[in-house]
A = this chain, B = another copy of it.
Amino acid sequence: MAILTFKLTENLYIKDPQETELGRSIVKNSITLIDKLGFEEFTFKKLALEIGSTEASVYRYFENKHKLLIYLIDWYWTWLEYIIEYHINNISDPAERLRICLRKLVEEKVFDPNIAYLDERTLHRIVGVEFEKTYLTKQVDIDNRDGLFLPYKSLCKKIACVIKQVNPAYEYPHSLVSTVLLIVYQQLFYAQHLPALSDIKYDPKKHYKKLYAFLENLVFKTIQA
């Protein structure tokens, strides 16, 4: 059993949280706490209390909760790209590669503590609710310059390349992929909380299938010549 870890840009943290017990505890517990409270209500003080440490100690790892959130989400996108890469690796048919990408995006995330360092299922939920808050800010240009959004851009680029393989003439592969990436989380959120905005009914057993059907149709028809 190989434990998966990824190295993220140093601009995200003051001190690498993967290197110490406390650091790993901060990351691990911030996931459950953000999931439970939502990002707005989440504070370093509450986190410190949860892990039996102090606010000041948390601040030695992350400048602020914004950076910590991006750290978690960057980890998720890096992990997802790895998963997708792994599964399309030896598939030669471009259309099939694209179908696998979509399936991996939509598919329910499983958490295997033997393989994963973090709980991807909870992370998946956090990404759905909090991801857009990471860039819909006044500091987006600075954060972007600092490379904080690289994992997401990398994933987007990878899938855009697959689209280009299916139809090299299609003009908007990046726009389509960034759209698809948002749809996944948006439609699942709507299904659960704002059902008037979606035709996908909330039902953990079936909605992944419906979402996939919606997406496959949208993507393949859109890029067809």
Contact = CB atoms under 8 A, between A and B. Distances in A.
A196 interface: yes
A116 interface: no
Interface of A: 37-38, 40-41, 129-130, 132-133, 135-138, 140-141, 144, 149, 152-153, 156-157, 171-176, 178-179, 182-183, 186-187, 189-190, 193-194, 196-200, 213-214, 217-218, 221-222, 224
Contacts of A175: 183, 187, 190, 197-200, 214
Contacts of A199: 171-175
B174 A138 contact: no
What is the count of identical protomers in the complex? 2
Contacts of A183: 175, 179
A122 to B, nearest CB: 15
Nearest to A221: B221
A27 to B, nearest CB: 22
A189 B137 CA distance: 11
A137 B222 contact: no
A222 B157 CA distance: 22
